[in-house]
Amino acid sequence: MVAPGKIIIPGPYGYRQNVAKSGLFITTLTVPLRDYRRARRINPKLPNSVTEICTTESLGFCFKWGKLIGADLYELYFDQGEPFYGHVRDRHDKKKAKKEIPLMSKVAALAEVNMRVYPAMQVADLFAWCANHIDDVRRNWHTRLNRLDWHSLVLDYRRLLNPIPGALERTAAWKLPLRRIDRTSSLLD
């Protein structure tokens, strides 16, 4: 039985929690580069950049969370100069992609922002840093932050080799512009 004013929210990978009100749902996503390189050798249809995988998965998390809390519109902000924004912009601007991702039409704001001006971007970077240093806790604030109810997902080799059936082919059919291969992704050769 759920208390009045609370909702049950499934996380991006099956976790359930009670939330008293809607707001931020913090999730970090990591793709180990060694696993990505190995998986891409087996399945060359995987995107040519880790940032595209992270962006696609994170966008799915945002839309899932928005649907659960009854969001009418979405505001998506990205740190300046990072490639994540371009991957979402491509999907937002392509008619075929928009048709297959109906929630993309509910994106009211899609912009790059200066993280020095937007505290939410600083918080996002802090959580990403904490996820990458989870086993190297040196300060009390880091220990307290790790105790908060947030989630960190790792897309490892096994998960990379098992994409949603048809997803890679659907994305290829959108004919999104080719983006520069990430420096880390280019280490495949």
pTM over 0.75: no
Residue 149: predicted pLDDT: 64
Residue 22: predicted pLDDT: 59
Residue 38: predicted pLDDT: 94
H or E element that contains 55: helix 50-69
Q: What is the DSSP string of 62-126?
A: HHHHHHHHT-S-EEEEEETT-THHHHHHHHHH-HHHHHHSGGGGGEEEEEEE-TTT-HHHHHHHH
Residue 113: predicted pLDDT: 92
Residue 48: predicted pLDDT: 86
Residue 174: predicted pLDDT: 87
Average pLDDT per block of 10 residues along the chain, 189 residues long: 46 48 70 92 91 90 84 90 91 92 93 89 81 76 70 79 85 82 51
Residue 107: predicted pLDDT: 94
